[in-house]
Structure 1
Amino acid sequence: MNAEQLREVVTDTELSPYARLIWVHLNTAAEPQNSNSLVEELGFSRATVSRSVGALRGLGLVRRHNGVWRPETGRRPSWT
């Protein structure tokens, strides 16, 4: 993640503050994160994590691989 990518996501008003925090956390966490670990580590409800990850996934900012969420940078769909 570079400064431009960080700024783009952190200032994206289409994303909730929760989604933005989850994306930053996924980019900086020492260990791979699944939905359960995001709930535990960030203290968000399961519904909030699910909704936020769904929004990030819809924008091409995360993908699920082997049960964990991986950040995707610079791959936002052209229609956004």
Structure 2
Amino acid sequence: MTDTLEALDFDLMTTQDTSKLTHITDCPDDKESAQAWVDEARANGLEVTALCGHVWIPESDPIKHPVCQTCLDIAQIRLA
């Protein structure tokens, strides 16, 4: 799996404003779902880490932004 991840273009992170993207997160072990975790983080002002490594405090409606391609690539690798 490491070889596959190294092949991804992580330069995208430095050339794109990641705050304007919708990111995908893992579900922490102690949470019911990733959505529940993001909702809790939004309500309490907690930081969330995306699959791509972007760290943010959820505030905006994710439907308003395009999905981070790096997060999508990583999620697809994990599902494969």
| RCO comparison, higher one (Cα < 8 Å, 6+) | 2
TM-score interval, normalised by the smaller of the two chains: 0.3 to 0.5
**Considering only CA atoms, is the larger Rg found in Structure 1 or Structure 2?**
2
Higher strand content, 1 or 2: 1
Give the TM-score of the pair, scaled to structure 1. Answer: 0.34
